[in-house]
Structure 1
Amino acid sequence: MKKVLFTLGVCLFGMLGVAQDTAKGVVYQDINKNGKQDRREKGIENVAVTNGVEVVLTDKNGKYSLPVSDDAIISVIKPSGYQVPVDANNLPQFFYIHKPNGSPKTKFKGVAPTGKLPRKINFGLFPIEESERFTSLIFGDPQPYTEEEVAFFAEGIVKELEGVENVSFGLSLGDLVGDNLDLFNPYILATKRVGIPWYNVLGNHDLNFDVKEDKYSDETFEAHFGPANYAYNVGKVHFIVLDDVLYPDPRDGKGYWGGFRDDQLAFVKNDLKYVPKDHLIVLAFHIPISEPKGDPFNDAHRQRLFDLLKDYPNTLSLSAHTHIQRQDFFDKSMGWHQDKPHHHYNVGTTSGDWYSGKLNKDGVPISTMRDGTPKGYAFIHFDGNQYRIAYKVAGNSDDYQMEIFAPKVLKKDKRTRSRLYVNYFMGSENDKLYYRIDGGDWKKMHYTREQDPAYEVGLYEWETSTTLMEGRRGSNAMESTHLWKAKLPTKLNEGTHKIEVKVTDRYGKTHTATSSYKILK
């Protein structure tokens, strides 16, 4: 038995570094929100606390104890029915960083030396009335490379969300900035204006590139946002945030690769021990686990993650990174263990196609993405362990869910190769779109994998213009995963004819759009 315990200890210490001390403290009800435990403020039992690998529950008095190395972050996993404090910038304060010697020296400043481990690391939580029905706001890749692009983000995205109501928290899915980590603070100040608690994911453009080990690539991120791997609960939903950017790439030491370290997967395993099986598990990371081109993600790591989730029938995972929007569904043939497929949502970005395209009336780039998805953000509406996602196009109405591309004029009674195209931004090949002309019978559209012609028309305007255009040409079009097409009839009377399109989404809501074309002799 002693040999077994010694082996487990060595494994743990190998993940954490050499264990040098023990962190102790209390998770308590901070009724008066003064940041300290007063005499009448009781400890909270059965709250999970982690050192980034191990996860323990507080005892009946709210006490916990965890081993720590000289490079550790102790964090509380927010239980349902409580809120963690936020700082002046609306960043949740659920962690304590223990780096006695500070971060290694890098181009961008990391964590300053924290000194000796405190005698107690306490976490005060505020009791709240927390419904099982709530909404979160999701940003993909703000990714400004300059102060000007921070202003584009603030004016084009944040401005229309200032003072948003009935939203519990926001979450940015990485690439908070574009390599210049000095822009973290301007990004924070911009996002603060939304006015809700804001969580953040580490992206491949948020890294300390001048390090030789992956575990040090997030030092500046930690200094601004805390741990890159953490979890929290709201209602019957358990959120797990993970850094899935391996840098340097363990295969050749060059660039990065999508995947997880062993200590991260150990954290997930230990965390899930205390999550009820009927709860919804929402995983958030930056690089999608489903990106089809090349070899961007370690498939073996994805399978290890799926194995850890095998007893959880209700799941959702979120990513960004690609600057397109995509829905993927993993079934048993792809390594998923449940009968119900796992839904992976690659969210459209707030920077769109990297702040490219024409400028709108406010001087902000339109920045439609390469698959024809307009830039925007997502709302996820939760009800118990179920969810419904709504994508909101920035600067447009809530009901703008698809773009119709149709010829303007067709010749009467003549065959044509022209087609009606519809880009349904939240769609996948599982959806069925229908169209009709002039109120006639509804007909099914054909799902297709092509480049969005509406995006291409806008793109090639840059080549055909005889004058310089404001803004910057966008990226070349790529195959869209949410495009449908159909033939348009020409055996109609001369004049204008109405096109109607409808789809009922996977949550039962029907979306419609209209357009028109002319028939001439």
Structure 2
Amino acid sequence: MPQSLRVFCMLCLLAAAGTAGAARWEGRVFHDMDGNGVADPGEPGVAGVVVSDGRTLARTGADGRYRFDARDDAPVFVVKPAGWHLPARADGLPATWHAPRAGGREDGDFALQRRSMRRDGALSVLVFADPQVKSLADVDYYARDIVDPLAAAGGREADLGISLGDIVDDVAALYPDVNAVTTRLRVPWLHVPGNHDVDPGVRDDDASLAAFRASYGPDTFAWEEDAATFLMLDDVVMQPGGRPAYVGGLREDQFAFLEAWLPTLPKDRLLVLGVHIPLFDTAAPGRPATFRAADRERLFALLADVPKLLVLSGHRHTQRHYRHGPADGWRGDEPLHEFNVGAASGAFWSGAPDAEGIPDATMADGTPNGHALLEVDADGRYRLSWHPARRPQGDPARTDAMHLHAPRVLRRGAYPAWAVYANVYMGEADTRVEYRIGDGEWTAMQRVERPDPWLAAENARDDAAVALRGYDRSPEAEPSLHLWRGALPTDRDAGEHAVEVRAFDRWHGEQRAGTRYRLQDREETRGPAPHP
């Protein structure tokens, strides 16, 4: 075969490969003025709106119409523009996407309705990580422990909600039950897949999220609000037959989407990146990395020109802040803040139940289960907070910001080897934490990386029990990254002494908690030391 003919055949094959598995999609993004979800005569199109299959972008024209070749195995979604909202699907989730339909021409209209912006231009976002239900009993815990208290409080007047993966614990049949609970909050809700949301028995990564996509649509998508833009990415790469069976990373189609979409972002708006597996490495020494370094560096290179950026991740069932720098491949002017959010399920719905039958669910670092709240101002500045699912009312030692642990009684005059501990849930290495005894001077507490003593005591109670105290016992306490210690003086008068702790949160200022301990006199009863 002549060289020229060989080249021509090769080009034909490449062209065929590039269009194989594609469907011609066209549709219209329109202003749904009467809210019926149907494009009625006289309802205008909305120009400049992005529609995508998670790889290729199309943008609507002046008449609101778009047209492009989309993958026939991927949902097609609209990037909701700021100032608009979407109607709800039958399951209560936002109508952001159309299911893939292989072959031929596909029609996909999207209805948008005008949304009035808050007077201050701010945004309030509920953030859940790892609800991770494995049974209807867990769905009930999720409802009564996390969602119903929020619903009773008006959903904290949130504008948006996010779940950062592991919606279920390998039981995709529970998606409708979880959705029925979450949508009680009447807040538009976005979902990222986790490693426990993949289909059982998957043979490759491409086919691992069929059930998730059937319930939630795209695993890569974006959503725009006036104060912030949200980018949700599936970062679980399955490795069937490998060890481990998955790793953190991104696919080529996701990079193609990012390369096309990121340059269109307004520079004055915060970009919130939501993923399941943390971007920072959490592997023990000598173990494989938990996130592919090449993918992280490639992602960071694409994000380097984004001036306002926040990463939210889940997966770990502990809580911490991480500041990415040059060692992680981040080249921005300031460290990149990643908030690794504690789990809604805590320690997988384990631990002794309370009076209402809900498991304690404290995580291995001592953080109580609950949810995070992200508040974004109109200028892109943000605030984060953690909200425990429940705490004993009237107990000053357990607040939304921290809990304290201290001995109840010490011998007066004993060597001061015992301490009050403060687990400050949103604490970082530079958080200022102080304590005082009575009306004494405030003294700096020492940050320590050791197991939370309250959880260690709970482990001891589980050890001593002759029968299971709950379905599963609490997790073994592991070193916490947000624990502070202050030695308790024993040279005071006999009797009870108040202990007060204050922590200075970078977003919400001074937070306080208190407890008490007692000093007791005891006569010396020990005899002389024995001879060696």
When the two structures are superposed, what TM-score results if normalisation uses the length of structure 2? Answer: 0.89
Equivalent residue for 1:112?
none
CA RMSD of aligned residues (A): 2.2
Equivalent residue for 1:431?
431
Structure 1 gaps of 5+ residues are 101-114
SS in structure 2 at match of 1:364:
coil
CA drift of 1:465 comes to: 2.6
CA drift of 1:471 comes to: 3.9
Equivalent residue for 2:132?
143
Judged with a 3 Å threshold, the aligned counterparts in structure 2 of structure 1 residues 48 and 467 are, in CA distance, closer, same or farther, namely: closer
Equivalent residue for 2:157?
166
Q: Deviations over 1:94-124 (max 9, x none)?
A: 1112233xxxxxxxxxxxxxx7533x32111
Alignment partners' CA distance in 1, 2:206 and 2:105? 21
Which structure has the larger Rg?
Answer: 2
Alignment partners' CA distance in 1, 2:482 and 2:300? 26
Which stretch of structure 1 is more off in the superposition, 55-64 or 296-305?
Answer: 55-64
Equivalent residue for 1:389?
384
Q: What aligned pairs does 1:301-340 form with structure 2 within 5 A after superposition?
A: 301-340=295-334
Of the three residues 274, 289, 293, the one matched with 2:279 is: 289
Alignment partners' CA distance in 2, 1:395 and 1:142? 16
Judged with a 3 Å threshold, the aligned counterparts in structure 2 of structure 1 residues 520 and 487 are, in CA distance, closer, same or farther, namely: same
Q: Check the 8 A contact 2:127/2:372 in 1, yes or no.
A: yes
Alignment partners' CA distance in 1, 2:195 and 2:16? 27
Letter in 2 for 1:503: A
Pairing 1:203–2:194 present = yes
Q: Check the 8 A contact 1:278/1:312 in 2, yes or no.
A: no
Alignment partners' CA distance in 1, 2:414 and 2:433? 26
Equivalent residue for 2:46?
44
Judged with a 3 Å threshold, the aligned counterparts in structure 2 of structure 1 residues 37 and 161 are, in CA distance, closer, same or farther, namely: same
CA drift of 1:466 comes to: 4.2
CA drift of 1:234 comes to: 0.9
Alignment partners' CA distance in 1, 2:16 and 2:460? 56
Letter in 2 for 1:192: T
Q: What aligned pairs does 1:91-240 form with structure 2 within 5 A after superposition?
A: 91-100=93-102, 116-118=104-106, 120-131=107-118, 132-162=121-151, 163-240=154-231
Judged with a 3 Å threshold, the aligned counterparts in structure 2 of structure 1 residues 249 and 471 are, in CA distance, closer, same or farther, namely: closer
Pairing 1:354–2:343 present = no
Q: Check the 8 A contact 2:123/2:227 in 1, yes or no.
A: no
CA drift of 1:399 comes to: 4.6
Q: Check the 8 A contact 1:130/1:234 in 2, yes or no.
A: no
CA drift of 1:193 comes to: 1.8
Alignment partners' CA distance in 1, 2:148 and 2:354? 15
Judged with a 3 Å threshold, the aligned counterparts in structure 2 of structure 1 residues 224 and 406 are, in CA distance, closer, same or farther, namely: same
Letter in 1 for 2:251: R
Alignment partners' CA distance in 2, 1:518 and 1:42? 73
SS in structure 2 at match of 1:164:
helix
Structure 2 gaps of 5+ residues are 1-6, 522-532
Pairing 1:401–2:401 present = yes
CA drift of 1:467 comes to: 5.2
CA drift of 1:470 comes to: 3.8
Equivalent residue for 1:342?
336
Q: Check the 8 A contact 1:326/1:347 in 2, yes or no.
A: yes
Letter in 1 for 2:319: Q
Q: Deviations over 1:381-407 (max 9, x none)?
A: 111211111111012379521111112
Alignment partners' CA distance in 2, 1:382 and 1:123? 27
Q: Deviations over 1:139-189 (max 9, x none)?
A: 111111111111111122122122425211211111111111111111111
Letter in 2 for 1:117: R
CA drift of 1:333 comes to: 3.7
Which stretch of structure 1 is more off in the superposition, 420-429 or 87-96?
Answer: 87-96
Judged with a 3 Å threshold, the aligned counterparts in structure 2 of structure 1 residues 509 and 262 are, in CA distance, closer, same or farther, namely: same
CA drift of 1:334 comes to: 2.7
Alignment partners' CA distance in 2, 1:227 and 1:344? 23
Alignment partners' CA distance in 2, 1:12 and 1:63? 27
Equivalent residue for 1:275?
265
Alignment partners' CA distance in 2, 1:202 and 1:32? 34
SS in structure 1 at match of 2:253:
helix
Judged with a 3 Å threshold, the aligned counterparts in structure 2 of structure 1 residues 291 and 409 are, in CA distance, closer, same or farther, namely: farther
Structure 1 segments of 4+ aligned residues over 4 angstroms from their partners: 9-14
Equivalent residue for 1:495?
495
Judged with a 3 Å threshold, the aligned counterparts in structure 2 of structure 1 residues 80 and 489 are, in CA distance, closer, same or farther, namely: same
